Chains A and B, each alone.
Chain A
């Protein structure tokens, strides 16, 4: 299984390579990718350096073009595909059907991966994309149980990639408008969820409040650990009870599933977090490299080391981790 790590900038990319990533994924510095944050992503000059570093270390580079083209602006998404082809990247990760169509027709040799934002969760959806476009790999949304992942793997010839670690998106990716409902901006339209420019923190008599575009997402007592107000991870009131009605601030961690994923022939495990620091990339890559190597050396004896989980927990949202939808109980 390929270890695919995130890089929001050149130092993170180098760190990922140095610590054992088989492949690194990045985005261009515009709204063609779903981590369109200030200070992140790659301009032309940095791109050349990224490609050089990847080539000289014999790794792979994937580029995410994973938002949806605005009307009248498809050309910007097409130019992003052109750049991938010109740079000779190893794969373009694409979500929009029109962009897939363009890439398939114009660059038959460019390897295309179906982005998680395209939300292909069943064999017929995968067939739609593979029948119509030149797709060699599908990135699965984080809504499937491990049983469903295995079923899909048995019923398709295309390579499958799964999310292995990082912030937990609890909705089918590409099909969540909660962010635009509260702010006007969503991952699909502007490449960001719960954008930072809408976040406000305020000390009040009832506690420290986090707000998103004026909407109260959570309220913390002095002893409580605060978290970024991603709107699905706030505490809300249902039936008079205040709790994490949608999801707790936890991260996905699937170290325990490595044997099952490998046996299901999953092609790659993906680490989330292009918006995180190079230090995050370094730690996560190191742990996952060690775990995958351990499994490869002796699959029968593979066990998750407590030290690995401890390291990953420190990097996680809310400092706790979950198997998420892979484990039926979470659902």
Chain B
């Protein structure tokens, strides 16, 4: 089992990002994803900053992957995407089929991100032929789904040609919109958002009228209210999952990575916060539910 730090999904000040990755090189992560995946207006770090950071981290011996945007609309966004796809040094996480088109043309190997609609092994076969090395399962899918998909990929003789990664900790990215919900919640227009996401290091909570933490708004992204936490499900990932992903919520990500390692290697169990955490998707029930394992 390998351990990955997903890209920072929130908008952090540049110094905080740099400090985070300075610490990440000494963490339990084998793989580090980095880059802006949510909103092209978040420019604390510019493409050259991200690529510079990537080079520094790569020197530490960890695998670095450049993550790219999930919702690309403006031609300017596609131009930045093209720059990353043609970077020449690092593999790229594609979160839109536009990225796969560019990566296949540039013959750059890639990771197929969880924001892409890949629900069966036949699609994976097509993507393997285009240079896919790793697939991050869409967050709404379950262990049962993965077991059957793995079986199909064996029949297609492609299982040894790619790794399977599972989003295992953090707020789940659930939807992408043209609308910026964070700006809307502060009565700002999207075009005049004052980059207000920077004030919310882990997004803004959305509660039901009876105070259940339903969603987290993060710019144009809507995320789960609860944190997804598969710590106690790691045992059920043996022989099925190659990489476990922790989505950074801050420096606590490094502790979480260590816990995943303990859970996998020493079969240690952890107490979940039932009113703040969930693991339903993995168990093929509603995502916000929790199964005690």
Contacts and interface: CB of A to CB of B under 8 A. Distances in A.
Contacts of B289: 184
Given A129-B97, A181-B172, A246-B222, A121 B119 contact: no
The listed residue with most B CB atoms (<10 A of its CB), out of A122, A213, A245, A329, is: A122
A74 B81 CA distance: 32
Contact of B121 (A71, A95, A182, A236): A71
A125 B119 contact: no
Contacts of B71: 121, 143, 172, 175
A330 B208 CA distance: 23
Nearest to B211: A237
Contacts of A279: none
Nearest to B144: A71
Given A121-B72, A215-B212, A180 B98 contact: no
Contacts of A217: 208
B78 interface: yes
Contacts of A235: 209
Contact of B96 (A122, A151, A238): A122
Contacts of B151: 71-72
Given A98-B126, A177-B140, A215 B214 contact: yes
Contacts of B180: 331
Given A128-B97, A128-B98, A245-B185, A151 B120 contact: no
Interface in A228-286: 232, 234-239, 241-242, 245-247
A216 interface: yes
Interface in B98-136: 98-102, 115, 117-123, 126-127
Contacts of A131: 101
B123 A96 contact: yes
Interface residues of B, number: 73
A105 to B, nearest CB: 11
Interface in B191-243: 191, 204-212, 214-215, 217, 222, 224
Contacts of B206: 236-238, 245
B280 to A, nearest CB: 7
Contacts of B123: 96-98
A176 interface: yes
B178 A331 contact: yes
Interface in B136-166: 138-141, 145, 148-149, 151-152
A15 interface: no
Interface in B175-199: 175-181, 184-186, 189-191
B241 to A, nearest CB: 15
A160 to B, nearest CB: 14
Nearest to B186: A239
B74 interface: yes
B102 A182 contact: no
A143 B122 CA distance: 28
Contact of A182 (B149, B152, B210, B287): B287
A125 B101 contact: yes
B126 A246 contact: no
Contacts of B176: 143, 171-172, 175-176
A291 interface: no
Contact of A170 (B145, B179, B189, B208): B179
A50 to B, nearest CB: 28
A122 B287 contact: no
A215 B210 CA distance: 9
Given A101-B126, A177-B175, A68 B120 contact: yes
A47 interface: no
A144 B73 contact: yes
Contact of B281 (A144, A148, A180, A237): A180
Contact of B140 (A117, A186, A218): A186
B120 A70 contact: yes
22 contacts: A74-B122, A96-B123, A97-B127, A117-B117, A118-B97, A122-B72, A148-B74, A172-B71, A175-B70, A175-B175, A180-B287, A181-B286, A181-B288, A186-B140, A189-B119, A216-B209, A218-B209, A235-B209, A236-B215, A245-B185, A245-B215, A331-B179
Given A123-B78, A180-B287, A236-B206, 18 more contacts: A70-B119, A71-B151, A72-B152, A124-B78, A124-B101, A128-B98, A143-B176, A170-B177, A172-B175, A175-B70, A175-B176, A177-B172, A178-B174, A180-B286, A189-B141, A234-B208, A246-B222, A331-B191
The 9 closest A-B CB pairs, nearest first, are: A124-B98, A98-B122, A128-B101, A143-B178, A125-B98, A68-B119, A181-B287, A71-B148, A325-B178
